[in-house]
Structure 1
Amino acid sequence: MSSELLRQYLYPLLIPFTFFILLLFKWLLSPSTTRKHHRPPPSPPKLPILGNLHQIGSRPHFSLANLSLKHGPLMLLRLGRVPVLVVSSADAAREIMKTQDLVFSNRPKSRIFEKLVYDNKDVAMAPYGEYWRQMKSVFVLHLLSNKRVRSFSPVREEEVANLIADIEGSLSSGSPTTVNLGERFAALTNDVVCRVAFGRKYGGKRFKAMLMEFAELLGALSFGDYIPWLAWVDRVSGLDERMDKVAKEFDDFLDEVVEEHVQKRMKYEGGVDGQEGKEDFVDILLSIQKESSLGFPIDKVSIKALILDAFAAGTDTTYTVLEWAMTELLRHPNAMGRAQAEVRRIAGHKSSIAEDDLDQLRYLKAVIKETLRSHPPIPLLVPRESTQDTKVMGYDIAAGTRVIVNTWAIGRDPSLWNSPEEFRPERFLNSSIDFKGHDFELIPFGAGRRGCPGIAFSIVVDELVLANLLHKFDWRLPDGVEQLDMTESIGLTIHKKFPLVASATIAIP
């Protein structure tokens, strides 16, 4: 064959052929190396491009729990291009959130969170580092410390009294009246948080709808996060438009809140009497901004991100627990009767239950714990991300792996709980297991550095509301309703899809 023919036909094939040989050589050598040095967690079969995205479903906590039954408590998924470690046992959760808490203290990037919470400048989603530590210290010290939470007692008791009076006023003489408890719980928790954080109430149907849309979007799936070249799907599906709309509505609202406080502070500085000592959380943040006491500037965006955290986290999860607790009590009359008997015995001749009485309500506290086990408000917690290569329970986990802890699955693990599908508050009466992040059988609020700092704030509201509802009224299902619809909503927080409605009568002393 002539040199001309070689150049024309064979040489153009030389480069791709060489490249193919190199790839083949690498492929032939890599299996033994992989087997020797790399042991990933078990994985279900994947589809090209999508990976395991098709297996998530509309109820991810349920779908992932079922997958874990086959593949184990540590399971590695591939969501598009993103490796995701799914944790479904107490032992594995302890390894992630205690033993190697520092390694798994980062948050993954998310288009949805970046859009809705000011490019992750809040506490919940800020990357692990100095900014996060400073913001969390401000959040805890000035809003969620034990001292501050106790100082809000008059606000909580006043708002609960308003709720009771409102329900009582809607009842006619001795006749049962249907009460939309879901709506009332949402309104009450909103009023409490607004008063302690913002200094006054903000409400209305539009406001509630905005919050519901916000919570749903936080749990939505963005194709752009997992398959960047499919980001156009988020535009076509309307996700981007929904995010833009809710982000603007919340930003306008928070601008209004901040501006009101700026104007109020100008009046203080002008010598308005009677305003000393009445600072709320926004006032404190503005003071920190003015004094530059953090060692680095805190701008208006950071202030809005922090008060958004206070508002969104303090309302949605709190009322969700209340609604599920009352739902389960209505479904279990024996538990309802036992809780009412305890509350009424402790109340005695008093017209209401005060916060000082709550420590004596052992069964009611067990009801709250059992509700958190059965219906954790954020069943998959907030995702984490590994910051370095590590080993977990003998498996190799690469840096940058997203981590999902399925606390819903852990709460229904038959190796940890007897009859886990049954609602049995009695299981906690002689148990030291608590929900504060030390017992990994029950971690509805997470644990470790990234655990929820607002546990005390949320639980005292839930206990106080539930105790007073059981003390003042007798509750049953509405006429014609034989069983409650237990369908769950979608979103980061899982509440009832349809608000809880119940029939109330004033209890006879």
Structure 2
Amino acid sequence: MAFITVFLVLFCLVCAWLSNSRIRKSGKLPPGPYSFPIIGNILQLGQYPHQSLAKLSKTYGPLMSLHLGSIYTVVVSSPEAAKEILQKHDLAFSSRIITAAGQAHDHHKISMVFLPVGSQWSKLRKICREQLFSTHRLVASQGLRQDKLRKLRDHVQECCVSGRVVNIGEVSFITTVNLMSVTLFSVDFTDFGSDTTQEWKETIEALIDIVGCPNSADFFPVLKRFDPQGIKKEADFYFGKFLSMFEDIINQRLESRRTSLPHHHSPKKNDLLQVLLDISEGSDYELSSNDIKHLLLDLFVAGTDTSASTVELTMTELLLNPEKMSKAKDELKNVIGDNNQIEEADISRLPYLQAVIKEILRYQPVGPLLVPHKSEHDVEINGYTIPKNTQVLINVWAMGRDANLWLNPNSFEPERFLDNKVDFKGRDFELIPFGSGRRMCPGLPLANRMLHMMVASLIHNFDWKLEPETKTKDGNTTVKFGTAHNKAVPLKALPTML
């Protein structure tokens, strides 16, 4: 066993040395901190890599070199550099680094997240853009989401009557899971007070943690076959769990479609699975059941955890800043009226609520380093060479906290967006929490609606008070780093009726 360990260490050293030698011959590389033998700069990432990298970028600049084991990495920390990467040289940086976890169940060969830009990837993006997340499709399915928001308000009202504290992270998660499941499948996956909620939360968070967990097999690809941390094994388990569930749902729907036609006239489902099955049976696209299964996995997991985390972080800041909460509530009262249910069409009439969402996406982006990009060939950026197969990290957290871009960047101030046309739709590179260019998050139109509607539902017609023991700012704003940010301490507050 000792011999194998020594052999692997020596082999990793040789691989890292060969990799670094090739990189050094590529041209003038961006500056960066000293790289240690074998491990490179791994130890400098720390517990919160986005913060550590932001600090390093102040010394080494907006294009910074790192060696993470044998993986050469460039970190982008300014809007100008991000625009070069994601717009001017978009195609050159359109590929992904394939992690060991991403290879579970061959997900990387089917997933829109990992597929290289090509015909299959373009087909899936076009389906998302024109069929799943078009304005027409989202308007058609908004009734499904309104019912989930009504259940959220009813639950909060019950807590008001009984004097119960609300775990805002938990109710946000339940609502988001059901908003996604009803939009995709016309069914609720859980409910308030259900025993399944914790299982759902643990499963989704476990999958996301596994995907975002630092993995020695990614830093040293030669170790992938050994899976020393067991990450690939865990990813196989959790990916398999979701894929099996979605396969059952697809098969049930196919059976229902088969038995209901042509003799029955049951109402047609108005969800995204129905759209995908219609597409798969048409002649415009070749879309297999396996394609649908993996696409649903991408959409459901990514949409659930990030949206729930963003809502909890938003409510945290509003509760810690009562004057901001009052402004948002006053706007809802003036525009929507007392006791009226907000509609998705009302979002455009609520500029302060929009500013609140923009500000939380600047201040606490749930994906602080986005999904890593990879260079397809050598590219020159600002006089530096970024070699082929370089991993590129876009530090959107650093750009959101840059004092050269934002006044008082470490303060939660939605007012900065009231007379500011900067938006998060991918055109303003100082605020790109959903990415930009051809790899931008395809679910943004749905996420945009869900975030505004959930926050509005929680604050319209309700007052909130933090639990006395959770009133400290540090305890309420600390987040855990991962593929998606989550609060380290759950947000709990007592609601009262207005």
Query: Larger C-alpha radius of gyration, 1 or 2?
Result: 1
Segments of structure 1 that go 5 or more residues without pairing to the other structure are 1-29
Shift of residue 72, structure 1, vs aligned partner: 0.9
Whether the aligned pair in 2 keeps the contact of 1:223 and 1:233 (CA below 8 Å) is: no
Counterpart position of 1:27: none
Counterpart position of 1:282: 273
Counterpart position of 2:465: 476
Shift of residue 211, structure 1, vs aligned partner: 0.7
Q: Deviation string for 1:66-121 (max 9, x for gaps)?
A: 22111111001111111111001111001111111111111122111121672341
Counterpart position of 1:105: 94
Whether the aligned pair in 1 keeps the contact of 2:243 and 2:297 (CA below 8 Å) is: no
| Aligned partner (choices 222, 225, 246) of residue 254 of structure 1 | 246
The reply to whether residue 183 of structure 1 matches residue 174 of structure 2 is no
Shift of residue 283, structure 1, vs aligned partner: 2.8
Whether the aligned pair in 2 keeps the contact of 1:382 and 1:404 (CA below 8 Å) is: yes
| Aligned partner (choices 114, 119, 137) of residue 125 of structure 1 | 114
The reply to whether residue 332 of structure 1 matches residue 321 of structure 2 is yes
Q: Deviation string for 1:166-220 (max 9, x for gaps)?
A: 11012227xx531111011111111111111112122323222111111111211
Take 1:275 and 1:116, find their aligned partners in 2: how far apart are those partners? 35
Take 1:59 and 1:254, find their aligned partners in 2: how far apart are those partners? 34
1:184-263 superposed matches below 5 A: 184-203=171-190, 204=196, 205-231=198-224, 234-235=227-228, 237-263=229-255
Counterpart position of 2:16: none
Counterpart position of 1:22: none
Question: In the superposition, relative to structure 1, how do residues 478 and 420 fare at CA in structure 2: closer, same or farther (>3 Å)?
Answer: same
For 1:257, the aligned partner's letter is I
Take 1:240 and 1:360, find their aligned partners in 2: how far apart are those partners? 47
Whether the aligned pair in 2 keeps the contact of 1:68 and 1:75 (CA below 8 Å) is: yes
The reply to whether residue 314 of structure 1 matches residue 283 of structure 2 is no
Identity of aligned residues (%): 35
Take 1:272 and 1:262, find their aligned partners in 2: how far apart are those partners? 15
Taking only aligned residues, the RMSD between alpha carbons, in angstroms, comes to 2.0
Whether the aligned pair in 2 keeps the contact of 1:186 and 1:316 (CA below 8 Å) is: yes
| Aligned partner (choices 256, 261, 282) of residue 264 of structure 1 | 256
For 2:83, the aligned partner's letter is R
The reply to whether residue 460 of structure 1 matches residue 452 of structure 2 is no
Whether the aligned pair in 1 keeps the contact of 2:132 and 2:275 (CA below 8 Å) is: no
1:12-91 superposed matches below 5 A: 38-91=27-80
SS at match of 1:61: helix
Counterpart position of 1:140: 129
Take 1:430 and 1:71, find their aligned partners in 2: how far apart are those partners? 33
Take 1:313 and 1:481, find their aligned partners in 2: how far apart are those partners? 29
For 1:178, the aligned partner's letter is V
The reply to whether residue 410 of structure 1 matches residue 402 of structure 2 is no
For 1:420, the aligned partner's letter is P
Q: After the TM superposition, which of the residue ranges 329-338 and 461-470 deviates more from structure 2?
A: 461-470
Question: In the superposition, relative to structure 1, how do residues 362 and 291 fare at CA in structure 2: closer, same or farther (>3 Å)?
Answer: closer
Q: After the TM superposition, which of the residue ranges 122-131 and 224-233 deviates more from structure 2?
A: 224-233
For 1:504, the aligned partner's letter is P
| Aligned partner (choices 427, 439, 455) of residue 450 of structure 1 | 439
SS at match of 2:487: coil
For 1:267, the aligned partner's letter is T
Take 1:386 and 1:233, find their aligned partners in 2: how far apart are those partners? 27
Q: Deviation string for 1:7-38 (max 9, x for gaps)?
A: xxxxxxxxxxxxxxxxxxxxxxx9xxx89x82
Take 1:357 and 1:305, find their aligned partners in 2: how far apart are those partners? 33
Take 2:161 and 2:279, find their aligned partners in 1: how far apart are those partners? 51
Whether the aligned pair in 1 keeps the contact of 2:159 and 2:165 (CA below 8 Å) is: no
Shift of residue 270, structure 1, vs aligned partner: 4.8
Counterpart position of 1:386: 375
Counterpart position of 2:151: 162
Segments of structure 2 that go 5 or more residues without pairing to the other structure are 1-20, 191-195
Take 1:298 and 1:353, find their aligned partners in 2: how far apart are those partners? 37
For 2:82, the aligned partner's letter is A
Take 1:353 and 1:424, find their aligned partners in 2: how far apart are those partners? 24
Question: In the superposition, relative to structure 1, how do residues 184 and 292 fare at CA in structure 2: closer, same or farther (>3 Å)?
Answer: same
Whether the aligned pair in 1 keeps the contact of 2:50 and 2:395 (CA below 8 Å) is: yes
For 2:231, the aligned partner's letter is L
SS at match of 1:148: helix
Q: Runs of 4 or more off by more than 6 Å in structure 1?
A: none
Take 2:66 and 2:157, find their aligned partners in 1: how far apart are those partners? 52
Whether the aligned pair in 2 keeps the contact of 1:75 and 1:87 (CA below 8 Å) is: yes
Take 1:471 and 1:305, find their aligned partners in 2: how far apart are those partners? 37
For 2:204, the aligned partner's letter is L
Counterpart position of 1:495: 486
- For this pair of structures, how many residues does the alignment match? 469
